[in-house]
Amino acid sequence: MSKIKDLSKVHGLISDFFKWPETSQEWEQYKLSNEQVAFFKEFGYLANIKLLEEWQVDQLNEELAKIQDPNHPGNDLFHEFHTNESTDPNKTLFHSLGHWRVTPGFHDVNWNPAFVMAASQLLDNRSVRFWHDQLFCKPAKHGGVVAWHQDYSYWTRTVKMQHLTCWTALDDANKSNGCLQYIPKSHTWGLLDKPVLTGPMDEFKNFLNDEQKSAFKNKVAVEIKKGHASFHHPLMVHGSYENSSEFSRRAFVLNVFADGTVSDSNDPLLKGVPIVKKGNKMEGQFFPLLLDTAKF
Ligand SMILES: O=C(O)CCC(=O)C(=O)O
């Protein structure tokens, strides 16, 4: 039994962080353009979408500083909590899953109208369901390589593949502090063998043919301001280099799928979450519906 209220029991906004639109007209302001959706389909990503104001980023960073303490009373609610004081550049220095259960800001970002609308459009206008959240934080001068990978290689226990990742910067992100990097159009390569995420950055290339290897010369560094986000396809090859700068590089990630995704496993999908039997729909307390397009 946690010492704090488990916020995953509440679906929908619990604070004044955002205002939920009441009419289809109010939703219009959040819509991506047709060109943006077409860009995502062609290249596998869509960067520089503003999701948060500066005051919201500040609040999230305050919440983050508190929950990074392993003695925080909500620590048992995390599905994963990895932190270390290592200076090894191959170690991500703070990575977690499950913080939406712990603080109101990280809970409510799931119901950010700008996020859910964009996510629905990028999932072919389907209803959007939450899968899990993540924090990826690299302190100044502290490394934190995330080796090239495809997100769906970690998610094959949920089918079919109709997933989406949204990465939001909590600091201005650039090459020197280890921003996200993409290989454009790699979402068309199919699912490759899964390399070890904590291995060297380029280990992934051992799994590629010559044409794919040569695509790395077109890699795109997602240099974005805090409060802005980048969406990517579940097969998009991406990663990030170490933070060699004087500045921290914090980010939170929302992973979602289209409503109707089912479990393909009888093993636990996330620590602390009851098993969803193979063939059963992903839903319930831990997998809330974020946007129901039937209500439009
Ligand atoms: O934040 C990073 O550097 C890596 C993020 C990532 O791999 C992801 O969002 O899937």
Residue of the nearest CA to atom 1 in ligand 1?
Answer: 136
- Ligand 1 centroid to residue 292 C-alpha, Å: 27
Long-range contacts of 190-194 (CB under 8 A, 24+ apart): 190/235, 191/150, 191/152, 191/153, 191/156, 191/161, 191/235, 192/150, 192/153, 192/237, 193/153, 194/149, 194/153, 194/154
- Helix or strand (DSSP H, E) at 95: strand 94-97
| pLDDT at residue 287, as a whole number | 98
- Ligand 1 centroid to residue 174 C-alpha, Å: 14
- Ligand 1 centroid to residue 235 C-alpha, Å: 13
- Ligand 1 centroid to residue 65 C-alpha, Å: 19
Compute CA distances 3 → 9, 15, 69, 221, whole Å.
Answer: 15, 20, 15, 41
Q: Strand, helix or coil at 279?
A: coil
- Ligand 1 centroid to residue 55 C-alpha, Å: 23
Ligand 1 atom nearest 253 alpha carbon: 9
Ligand 1 site residues, Cβ closer than 6 angstroms: 136, 146, 151, 165, 167, 180, 238, 240, 251, 253
Ligand 1 atom nearest 240 alpha carbon: 3
Ligand 1 atom nearest 178 alpha carbon: 3
pLDDT tens for the 296 residues of the chain, in order: 789 999 999 999 999 999 999 999 999 999 999 999 999 999 999 999 999 999 999 999 999 999 998 999 999 999 999 987 654 555 558 999 999 999 999 999 999 999 999 999 999 999 999 999 999 999 988 878 898 999 999 999 999 999 999 999 999 999 999 999 999 999 999 998 765 556 678 778 888 899 999 999 999 999 999 999 999 999 999 999 999 999 999 999 999 999 999 999 999 999 999 999 999 999 999 999 999 999 87
Q: Which residue has the tokens 């005051």?
A: 55
- Ligand 1 centroid to residue 247 C-alpha, Å: 18
Ligand 1 atom nearest 167 alpha carbon: 9
- Ligand 1 centroid to residue 137 C-alpha, Å: 10
Ligand 1 atom nearest 197 alpha carbon: 7
User: CB–CB of 135/251 below 8 Å?
Assistant: yes
**Gyration radius of the chain's alpha carbons:** 18
Q: Which domains does the chain have, with CATH numbers?
A: 31-286 (2.60.120.620)
Ligand 1 atom nearest 151 alpha carbon: 10
C-alpha closest to that of 98 among 127, 74, 65: 74
Q: What is the pTM of this model?
A: 0.96
